[in-house]
Amino acid sequence: MKIKCDWCGSWINDFDQVCPNCGGVNNNYNRHANGVPQTIEELKAWAKEMNLPLEDMRTFIGEDYKGAKAFGIYKDETDGTFVVYKNKEDGTRAVRYKGTDEAYAVNELYQKMKERVVERLLVYQNMMEQLHMEY
């Protein structure tokens, strides 16, 4: 079904995540999937269930952490928006998302966390293979 882009007014498909014309987020896009956290509290619970070392991963859920080299998500109480951020090594911050869609914000960090877990598993797997080859 075609819908109007909230940002530029162009007609887009309802299944487009972003407008192909202006890049604006399609607020009507259904971002839900089974087993994917939808709220900050669900993301915290998922991380705990997975035994993720959040501090070691430099990942801060529900916290506006100001330190360098960190990812995080929090609800800005001043305007009610959800903020997903990446603090760079030099201390500057890149905001990956700021808006009212909590599920979208949570999914942004969830995907990054899954990516980082896979990277760590590959490093661990390579390390174990190296040890095995040495013996």
The 10s digit of each residue's pLDDT in 85-127 is 999 999 899 999 999 999 999 999 999 999 888 888 888 888 8
Q: Which two tokens stand for residue 26?
A: 């399609």
What percent of the chain has a predicted confidence (pLDDT) above 70?
Answer: 95
Q: 135 falls in which pLDDT band (50, 70, 90)?
A: low
Q: How many residues does the chain have?
A: 135
Distance between CA atoms of residues 99 and 79, nearest Å: 10
For the question of whether the overall pTM of this predicted structure is more than 0.85, the answer is no
Residue type, 91: G
Q: Are 73 and 65 in contact (CB under 8 A)?
A: no
Rounded average pLDDT over 42-49: 94
Whether 36 and 107 have beta carbons less than 8 Å apart is answered as yes
